[in-house]
Amino acid sequence: MLPGASDQRVPVLPGEIAVAEENPSPVVPSLQGTGDNLDKHPTGVWGPVVEIGLVPVAMANLPSGDILMWSAYEEMMFGGSNGYTQTVVFHPDTGSARSRTVSETQHDMFCPGIANMPDGRVMITGGSNDAEASVYNPATGSWEDAADMNVGRGYHSNVALADGSVLAVGGSWSGGISVKDSEVYRDGQWVRLPGIRGGGSLATNDLQGQYRSDNHMWLFTWKGNRVFHAGPARTMHWLDTAGQGSVVAVGARGIDGDAMNGNAVMFDSGKILTTGGAPNYNSGSATGNSHVIDLNAGGMARQVESLAHPRAQHSSVVLPSGEVVALGGKSRIRLFDDRDSVMVPELFDPDTETWSSLAPMSVPRNYHSAGLLLNDGRVLVGGGGLCGNCSGHPERNHPDVQILTPPYLLDSSGHLKPRPVLADVPAVADYGQNVSVSVTGGVAEFALVRLSNSTHSTNNGQRRIPIEFVANDDGRLQLDMPDDPGVAPPGSYMLFALDSSGTPSVSANIMLG
């Protein structure tokens, strides 16, 4: 363990409901600040490691603030197509986790594509059961069977589109090795898009061929119901889902080569930060390359300061301030191997386009790990492993999570800063609507962060959108909702108010579109 890392573990209790009982205060800090509002903490603070009973290979935000997580047909092992999945719903405010075996959709959801849908449900497609599609309904806590895909796939990418449909691209890890047609889920059915195929310059030049080269694509919905393909292949593209689909090449991503298991995240409207990655899925050295891609300029990429710690198999999480946290990963790529782990997260400042180091983690987070933003502005990361008894592997399973309190929530002494308090936020808003809210405490800006999902270093739903506002004579604030569903795809968002020092409120959930 590195100096400064916490090795305290909060276990779960046996049974369906697992509750973190040891010293819950680091897991659930008071939402009210006790410190001053002058300086930020330089590195942030980690809470204890919380056991949840399975390796959380995949995660998705839920409108309640809870996190849906799952592994495979077993809590610590994957393999075959077994027709059921081990899941938990994790409650960050208490550190508890409710476990459930999901069998009603006949879907082993290991290594899937994921999309947060416009109505707040979560769609999971393919993976070990390669053609299946399942939907989790957080309003009822139930699982629903969706129409099977036309093409079996795993390690593919899903993305929610501006018109409310879901696109699936690639995925030769499962369902056969081939250059696969993409397909789109509209009106309850999957429709092939033979004009968008998961090969050629959309794919990397992996040493293991097509089996790996069409995995984990970085896809970003944008205006005109188009999708920007940012990587991990070196060449970037625009994908048009109209008709049978079409592809237009944009060009190379700056100095990058192929960047498999790197990250991409939209940290501002139309601006994407890419980090790290490696030339092959299961070999080679990671890079620290970082680029900003501007969709407002047609997809132009320019290099920014590199990560101090080259990494792949990591997670990147956008904060409501526009900062981005890169967590975990490793410098040399070998699956099921904790050697060469990067324990120091890094924080990207969008104003200076530079990185700074944060407090080290307690647990390596590499292959089969995931990370997400929480609705109180903290960052959750967990998982790694899923190798059974891990015999013969220099890694062990990590059936746990840990929560980072970032610098913007803390003063220089490590106390929670005072933060704005949002109130009177409507549950639903339409595009272009003026929304009235009230805020206690100072406010300098607002931001929407879309509920999203994470698995295998990929999160195509994550994006932050700054919101313009004006003050009314009565002290209430009028917010201008985005007017284009390409900029803000329909769905559930966390609305944050931030003060002049960048400290965010606890978010309010708002459904847009």
Do residue 60 and residue 205 come from a single domain? Answer: yes
The total number of structural domains that make up the chain: 2
**pLDDT score recorded for residue 36:** 64
Is it the case that residue 157 has pLDDT exceeding 70? yes
**pLDDT score recorded for residue 40:** 83
- Render pLDDT for 114-127 as a digit per residue (tens, 0 to 9): 999 999 999 999 99
Q: Give the CATH number for residue 349.
A: 2.130.10.80
Mean pLDDT across 135-158? 98
Do residue 167 and residue 224 come from a single domain? Answer: yes
Between the CA of residue 179 and those of 60, 196, 208, 213, what are the distances in Å? 28, 10, 14, 10
Task: Using alpha carbons only, give the angle 166, 169, 173 rounded to the nearest 5 degrees.
Answer: 125
Mean pLDDT across 53-75? 98
Mean pLDDT across 252-262? 97
Q: Is residue 15 part of a domain?
A: yes
Nearest CA among 344, 322, 376, 273 for reference residue 67? 376
Answer for the pair 161, 490: CB distance below 8 angstroms, yes or no. Answer: no
Do residue 234 and residue 319 come from a single domain? Answer: yes
Do residue 44 and residue 83 come from a single domain? Answer: yes
**pLDDT score recorded for residue 168:** 98
Between the CA of residue 123 and those of 81, 111, 143, 451, what are the distances in Å? 19, 13, 10, 13
Q: Is residue 414 part of a domain?
A: no
**pLDDT score recorded for residue 21:** 34
Is it the case that residue 11 has pLDDT exceeding 50? no
Do residue 351 and residue 469 come from a single domain? Answer: no
Rounded to 5 degrees, φ, ψ at 211 are -50, -35
**pLDDT score recorded for residue 16:** 37
- Render pLDDT for 465-507 as a digit per residue (tens, 0 to 9): 999 999 988 889 999 999 999 999 999 999 999 999 999 999 9
Nearest CA among 131, 90, 88, 89 for reference residue 108? 131
**pLDDT score recorded for residue 247:** 98
Q: Give the CATH number for residue 470.
A: 2.60.40.10
Residue-wise burial string across 273-294, b where 16 or more C-beta atoms lie within 10 A, e elsewhere: bbbbbbbbbbebebbbbbbbbe
Edge-to-edge strand ranges of the sheet holding 445-450: 428-429, 508-512, 491-498, 445-450, 464-467
**pLDDT score recorded for residue 39:** 79
> 239 is in which domain, residue-wise?
9-19+33-409
Mean pLDDT across 5-22? 38
Nearest CA among 132, 146, 139, 134 for reference residue 102? 134
What is the amino acid identity at position 143? W
Task: Pick the catalytic residue from 185, 281, 367, 408.
Answer: 367
Do residue 335 and residue 401 come from a single domain? Answer: yes
- Render pLDDT for 17-35 as a digit per residue (tens, 0 to 9): 333 333 333 344 444 566 6
Residues 6+ apart with CB under 8 A from 351: none
Do residue 367 and residue 304 come from a single domain? Answer: yes
What is the amino acid identity at position 354? T
Do residue 453 and residue 379 come from a single domain? Answer: no
**pLDDT score recorded for residue 35:** 60
What does the block give as tokens for 46? 């980690």
Domain end: 387, 409, 431, which one?
Answer: 409
Is it the case that residue 139 has pLDDT exceeding 60? yes
- Render pLDDT for 380-426 as a digit per residue (tens, 0 to 9): 999 999 999 988 888 899 999 999 999 999 999 999 999 999 999 99
What does the block give as tokens for 228? 């920007």
Do residue 383 and residue 428 come from a single domain? Answer: no
Q: Is residue 486 part of a domain?
A: yes
Give this prediction's pTM: 0.93
Domain end: 375, 409, 443, which one?
Answer: 409
367 is catalytic: yes
CA torsion, points 428, 431, 433, 436, in degrees to nearest 10?
40
Q: Is residue 27 part of a domain?
A: no
- Render pLDDT for 86-103 as a digit per residue (tens, 0 to 9): 999 999 999 999 999 999
Answer for the pair 153, 124: CB distance below 8 angstroms, yes or no. Answer: no
